[in-house]
Amino acid sequence: MGKNIKQKFIKPNWDNNILNISATLAEFLGAPNSNATLPVLKQYLAKGYKNVVYMCFDGMGVNPLERNLPEDDFLRTHIAQVLTSTFPSTTTNATTSLCTNKLPLEHGWLGWSLHFDEIGRNVDIFLNKDSQTGEEVVFDSPLQDYRDGYFYHGTRTEYQIRTVNPQYVHCKEEFNTVISTVDEFFDAVKRICNEEGNHFVYGYCPQPDGCMHENGVTCPETKALLQQISSGLQNLQQTTQNTLFIASADHGQIDVEGYVDWREERELRDMLECPPYLDSRSPCFRVKKGMKRKFAKRFREKYGEDFVLFRTKDLIRQNYFGDRGDYGYLLGDFIASGTYTNKMMILDKADPHFMKGHHTALTKEMLVPLILFDN
* CA–CA separation, 350 and 212 (whole Å): 22
Residue 332 pLDDT more than 50? yes
275 touches 132 (CB < 8 A): yes
* CA–CA separation, 91 and 116 (whole Å): 20
213 touches 355 (CB < 8 A): yes
* Confidence at 192, pLDDT banded by 50, 70, 90: very high
The pLDDT tens digits for 204-231 are 999 999 999 999 999 999 999 999 999 9
* CA–CA separation, 221 and 160 (whole Å): 36
- In this prediction, residue 3 carries a pLDDT of 43
Spatial CB neighbours of 171, under 8 Å, sequence gap ≥ 6: 147, 149, 163, 165
CA distances to 139, 249, 274, 356 from 152, rounded to whole Å, are 27, 21, 38, 37
- In this prediction, residue 148 carries a pLDDT of 87
Kindly state the average pLDDT of the residues 298-323. Answer: 98
* Confidence at 158, pLDDT banded by 50, 70, 90: very high
User: What's the whole-model pTM score?
Assistant: 0.95
- In this prediction, residue 355 carries a pLDDT of 95
* CA–CA separation, 230 and 216 (whole Å): 19
**pLDDT over 90, % of the chain:** 91
Long-range contacts of range 118-126, CB-CB < 8 Å, 24 or more positions apart?
118/142, 120/274, 122/274, 122/275, 122/277, 125/92, 126/92
| Of residues 204, 186, 23, 211, the one with CA closest to residue 102 | 23
Q: How many CB atoms lie within 10 A of CB 282?
A: 26
Kindly state the average pLDDT of the residues 301-322. Answer: 98
* CA–CA separation, 312 and 222 (whole Å): 35
Give Cα 7 distance to the centre of its chain: 22
Spatial CB neighbours of 115, under 8 Å, sequence gap ≥ 6: 121, 122, 123, 274, 277, 286, 330, 332
**DSSP string of 2-21?**
HHHHHHT-----TTSBHHHH
Domain-wise residue ranges, the chain: 10-104+144-254+363-374
83 touches 372 (CB < 8 A): no
Spatial CB neighbours of 153, under 8 Å, sequence gap ≥ 6: 31, 32
Residue 7 pLDDT more than 60? no
* Confidence at 45, pLDDT banded by 50, 70, 90: very high
- In this prediction, residue 169 carries a pLDDT of 85
- In this prediction, residue 23 carries a pLDDT of 98
- In this prediction, residue 2 carries a pLDDT of 44
What average pLDDT does the chain have?
A: 95
107 touches 146 (CB < 8 A): yes
- In this prediction, residue 83 carries a pLDDT of 98
Question: What CATH number belongs to 10-104+144-254+363-374?
Answer: 3.40.720.10
* CA–CA separation, 337 and 364 (whole Å): 12
Residue 99 buriedness (CB in 10 A; 0-12 / 13-18 / 19+): buried
Residue 256 pLDDT more than 60? yes
* Confidence at 325, pLDDT banded by 50, 70, 90: very high
3-state helix, strand, coil in the chain (%, to 5): 35, 25, 40
Kindly state the average pLDDT of the residues 353-359. Answer: 94
Residue 282, helix vs strand vs coil: strand
CA distances to 12, 104, 144, 303, 316 from 326, rounded to whole Å, are 18, 10, 11, 30, 11
- In this prediction, residue 1 carries a pLDDT of 40
The pLDDT tens digits for 71-116 are 999 999 999 999 999 999 999 999 999 999 999 999 999 999 999 9
The pLDDT tens digits for 278-298 are 999 999 999 999 999 999 999
The pLDDT tens digits for 52-65 are 999 999 999 999 99
